[in-house]
Chain A
Amino acid sequence: EVQLVESGGGLVQPGGSLRLSCVASGFTVSNNYMSWVRQAPGKGLEWVSVIYTGGNTYYADSVKGRFTISRDNSQNTLYLQMNSLRAEDTAVYYCARGSRGSSWSFDYWGQGILVTVSS
């Protein structure tokens, strides 16, 4: 059974850092493209970052230069290192597995982890 379990969220001050983890089971992270998607309170979905099977990474303009996506193949885990955090980064963060088809969809999602940036 495919499962994604996020951890590492919490309350952090503006300018601080946090690292989110997403432990995968039931499939191999390095064999799929993987993404982070976030949702601010009461708002819609916002794509944050993707890492492709070959290791290429891409970011939304809103987080470029501050966030870094990575994976540990030995731990079958996806990460999101978040630096220079701002109030507008407050959101539930989901990790998601890339699916089949040509449209870069996501077929499995984690339960989400809340990140709150506040003083």
Chain B
Amino acid sequence: DIQMTQSPSSLSASVGDRVTITCQASQDISNHLNWYQQKPGKAPKLLIYDASNLETGVPSRFSGSGSGTDFTFTISSLQPEDIATYYCQQYGFTFGPGTKVDIK
């Protein structure tokens, strides 16, 4: 089975900061990687699919890149409404452990 790791597990940043989260797969998954945002008490929301494609309606400050085993998720300018936990997910459905993002 493919295992997913994420780092960091949590981070605090200031409004306007650039935030980067990494996700690593235990084997090559090409570009088959998705990113979700989950706010407390809410269902997850798809942000990025196929590693770098922005889901319809998602703000352009969110982006994704990578292929193979190493992937990156970036928020170019952190906003207060971005406070959430972010999960990567590979095409075999396994989710990463999540990264909790807070405002400093």
Contacts and interface: CB of A to CB of B under 8 A. Distances in A.
B87 A103 contact: no
Nearest to B51: A103
> What 9 pairs across the A-B complex have the smallest Cβ distances?
A109-B43, A47-B93, A105-B34, A103-B32, A101-B49, A45-B95, A105-B49, A101-B50, A104-B91
Interface of A: 35, 37, 44-47, 50, 94, 99-107, 109-112
B101 interface: no
A94 B91 CA distance: 18
Contacts of B50: 101-103, 105
Contacts of B34: 101, 103-106
A110 B49 contact: no
A37 B38 CA distance: 13
A110 B95 CA distance: 18
Contacts of A50: 93
Given A44-B87, A45-B87, A111 B93 contact: no
